[in-house]
Amino acid sequence: RGRGHHPRHPTMGIPLSTPATTQDFALQELGGLTYEEKMGGGRFLKTLRCTTNDAGHAPVVVKVFLKGVGTPSLAPHAAQLREIRARLPPAAAPNVLPFALFRETEKAAFLMRQYLHSTLRERVAAQPALNPLEVRWLAFQLLCALEQMHLHGVCHGDIKAENALLTSWGTLFPFKLRLTYI
């Protein structure tokens, strides 16, 4: 091994130089989706924007983790995601949008959620600038979401503008949720 060579850690996933592209692999494994575009440059989770093939053609985001040799089961993470979803049904937490689907296969794990227009960070940087009323409305929605999560034993864990998603009509949803016992 040459100088500067670092052996691959067995739980860090596999490189994307596999025969099929990430999007082809994800579409084959999940089914019912049409690939639209790759989003971001995530190192471990590849993010794809897709649409569902049902009558609604709903836009969705699929995060793909390609498993390497020796990757441990992700069952504990799946259980935590199911628990968060169970604790935050839409009627009890209308300002929160947890992942809609987690699926683990032999070769990969997938997270899927509804696609939303932008992040709060992108909207703050865009023109026209938010007016004071819009800023108050977004702050109010974020505080409502945090209250709803905390009432159901879920915390955010990483509150920042990149982790708050916005619809095209200005509804705010935080994401990256974690279980907690508060």
Annotated catalytic residues are 158
**Helix/strand/coil for 63:** strand
Residue 119: other Cβ atoms inside 10 A = 18
Gyration radius (Cα) of the chain, Å: 18
Question: How is residue 14 annotated by DSSP?
Answer: -
d(CA 89, CA 98): 9
Helices (H), the chain: 22-30, 75-87, 120-125, 132-151
